[in-house]
A = this chain, B = another copy of it.
Amino acid sequence: MTDQATPLGVTPAAGDLPESAGRVLLEILINGPLPRVELARRLGLSGPSLTRLTRPLIASGRLIEGVARHQSVGRPLQPLDIDVSSEHFIGIKLTGGALYAVVTDLRGEVLAESERSLNGNDPAVVAAEIATEVARFGTTFAGLTGVGIALGGRSPDGRVVGEANFLGWRNVPLADLVEVACNLPVVVANDVNALTQAQHWFGAGRGLDSFAVVTVGAGVGLGLVMHGRLVQGVHGGAGSIGHQVLTNSDATCWRGHRGCANALLSAQAIEAATERATGSPAPLDVILRGAERGDPALRAIVDQAGEALGLLIAGVANFADPQKILIAGEGARLGTVGGHAMLRAFHRAGAWETTETPIDVQPFAFNEWARGAAASAIYARVMA
């Protein structure tokens, strides 16, 4: 943990601001430039309070006044914004064989990205590789403020990796290792939780009080926001729905469960089903493209997976009844290509009006994972 003497620090008594000053900064960070009146309305404060609160923030450069926006009549609105380029964050997504990195600004916008394969999975080696990548970005981006590392595993405290089976890790103090190596504050997070945090602050979940992210990819995951905050779980294990049984089916996952989410929905499962059906292997995106073009065998497979996805989101809707469910991950396009089957299953299995829950499927680039990692670093910076 290094103290960089940088400004900003958004919430609980960061520096020595009143708490509401932090809420002002956070509201602007999440929602973009806002005029004082609007901030007053959103935060339940009076106009005078906003003048008072923002004055020192502007004086110290934490907030900057944008160009006035004219309304139909009356004095124009004076939007206030955070200088999002005053700080930069690095997000790292670790997979079994590679490391994906992005640099973002304070609002999670990706400014640069890179990829590097990993030579082995010894924690020290991985930490060194991360540090190398961070150093490389450090030369082009001034003012790196924090590093977030996301992986398919569990970290109850944001510092130690409890488990990461794909790396064979248990209780690896990754944050400490990387902090020593690159002299920046480091946060470790579960990849799905990190992605959910990013979407909640800067993406499809912006401003929502309850929100769920279902990811389809190497595994199946779930991120949850309830009462406006990410649900992590006491052991950091919330959202471990990969082995949830969805239907009576013969498909088995790598742990031998029949009909679980991983058995029906993981990229590996869909690819295996395709190979069984067509005799030839193909990666998930090719399968999806084929189904889209009308190949009947692939269409059947995609529809079956889409149905499983529909059952999964029905389970999520029945469980938590969130305001919105986002389908994400490398396999998110399954929610589009197999969308019809998905929605049919969802409507069949969902209880009551929970079937009205908006399901959002967006194009997903792989660097979203690393962006999520950066969002975790931003969160830690801003809420700590």
A residues near B, CB below 8 A?
154, 162-163, 210, 222, 224, 226-227, 229, 231-241, 243-249, 258-259, 311, 315, 317-323, 349, 351-354, 356-357
Residues in B neighbouring A231, C-beta threshold 8 A: 210, 226-227, 320-321
Across the interface, A154 reaches (CB within 8 A) one of B154, B227, B249, B352, namely B352
In the bound complex, CA of A91 to CA of B246 (Å): 37
In the complex, how many angstroms separate the beta carbon of A105 from the nearest chain B beta carbon? Answer: 29
In the complex, how many angstroms separate the beta carbon of A238 from the nearest chain B beta carbon? Answer: 4
Across the interface, A248 reaches (CB within 8 A) one of B163, B241, B245, namely B245
Residues in B neighbouring A154, C-beta threshold 8 A: 352
In the complex, how many angstroms separate the beta carbon of A354 from the nearest chain B beta carbon? Answer: 4
**Is A233 a contact partner of B320 (Cβ separation < 8 A)?**
yes
**Is B258 a contact partner of A318 (Cβ separation < 8 A)?**
no
In the complex, how many angstroms separate the beta carbon of A333 from the nearest chain B beta carbon? Answer: 25
In the complex, how many angstroms separate the beta carbon of A365 from the nearest chain B beta carbon? Answer: 28
The residue in chain B whose Cβ has the minimal distance to the Cβ of A354 is B237
In the bound complex, CA of A74 to CA of B105 (Å): 56
A and B contact pairs by CB, cutoff 8 A, 28 listed: A226-B226, A226-B227, A227-B227, A227-B231, A231-B321, A232-B321, A233-B321, A234-B323, A235-B352, A235-B354, A237-B317, A237-B321, A237-B354, A238-B319, A238-B320, A238-B321, A239-B318, A240-B318, A240-B352, A240-B354, A241-B315, A243-B351, A244-B319, A245-B246, A245-B248, A245-B259, A248-B258, A319-B319
**Is A163 a contact partner of B352 (Cβ separation < 8 A)?**
yes
Residues in B neighbouring A235, C-beta threshold 8 A: 321, 352-354, 356-357
Known: A226-B227, A231-B226. A318 touches B237 (CB 8 A): yes
Residues in B neighbouring A247, C-beta threshold 8 A: 245
Contacts A237-B353, A248-B258 supplied; 7 other A-B pairs, CB < 8 Å? A226-B226, A227-B231, A235-B321, A235-B352, A237-B318, A237-B352, A241-B315
The residue in chain B whose Cβ has the minimal distance to the Cβ of A323 is B234
Residues in B neighbouring A226, C-beta threshold 8 A: 226-227, 231
Residues in B neighbouring A320, C-beta threshold 8 A: 224, 231, 233, 238, 319
In the complex, how many angstroms separate the beta carbon of A258 from the nearest chain B beta carbon? Answer: 5
**Is A222 a contact partner of B353 (Cβ separation < 8 A)?**
no
